[in-house]
Amino acid sequence: MSTRHLVIETRLGPVTLVAKGEAITGLYFRHHVRRPAQEAFGPEVTEPADRLLSEAARQLRQYLAGERRNFDLPLAAEGDAFQHAVWEIVKRIQCGDTTTYGRIAEELGDRALAQKVGAAVGANPLCVFVPCHRVVGSHGSLTGYAGGLKRKRTLLELEESADVSAGRLF
């Protein structure tokens, strides 16, 4: 099956999940910075009609309810080699943890890449699934999030409170 999408209601507002073939390629909020044109999402499908998008919706709902810490979905973000390198590092940030753009730049070998890292994090088409909300400013400040700082704060608070009951999360 080609590119298609599903819109679900969440505590963060409507979320558009996009899939191409057998992989999730996007997670976008209504007023998402860098949200592609609607026609790039392909036709809208219903939840029961698409197994992959239904599973992505189920896992996202579990995460937002504090019942899931990690996602088990086939992901395929479109981006350049540098963006993919950054997103691979972001994927490894554990639920409840944060890192900085500078630390990611250092991991890539050059602290001077921090702004370029910020641009790559901001271009992440799989926010939440690839947890770019866990990347913060150099002194822990909440800087930039394609879904808006209010959502970033909500996601970090959700993960912080989930740590208290981590025994029931997977």
DSSP for the chain reads ---EEEEEEETTEEEEEEEETTEEEEEEETT-TTPPPGGGG-SB--GGG-HHHHHHHHHHHHHHTTS-SS----B-----HHHHHHHHHHHTSPTT--EEHHHHHHHTT-GGGHHHHHHHHHT-TBBTTB-GGGEE-TTS-----TT-HHHHHHHHHHHHHHHHTGGG--
Residue among 93, 113, 120, 132 flagged as catalytic: 132
Active site residue 95: no
Residues belonging to the active site: 132
